[in-house]
Amino acid sequence: MMNKIEISGKRIKDLRENIGFSQKNIAEFLGVDQSMISKVEKGERYLSSDMLDKLASLFGIQLKDFMNTDIHLPLKYGFRANSLTADDLRMISEINRIALNCDFLTSLLNGARINNGNQ
């Protein structure tokens, strides 16, 4: 049985590979050494909550979804990840964060409509 860090590391690796990002891409995006990403994926090191939050935005998922293996990535990118810079990844992350916030606001509005309809 895996502990949470191993599941988290495996999940990060699965998400990273699904999109086609390299460990180097992720390391540059987070501002850490590539060996750190390797150790995280092997379950030997932790990422800070800030780093996990940044990765969630980059992957286009909610932070809680790192542990939910039933959640699949909403997007696949149509470009070669090896040619991406850390700035490119930051831009992708910001766009995904906007999309996630829009989804959240839409769910709040839908909940308000349902509650108003029941009164």
Residue-wise burial string across 22-60, b where 16 or more C-beta atoms lie within 10 A, e elsewhere:
ebebbbbbbebeeebbeebbebeeebeeebbebbbbbbb
Q: What is the pLDDT along the chain (119 residues), one digit of tens a residue?
A: 455 556 688 889 988 888 888 999 999 999 999 999 999 999 899 888 889 889 988 988 888 877 776 666 555 555 555 577 888 889 888 888 898 888 888 888 887 666 666 55
Phi, psi at 74, each rounded to 5°:
-75, -25
Torsion of CA 98, 20, 48, 66, to 10 degrees: 70
CB 25 within 8 Å of CB 82 = yes
* 4-117 CATH fold: 434 Repressor (Amino-terminal Domain) (1.10.260)
pLDDT at residue 1 in the model: 46
pTM of the model: 0.69
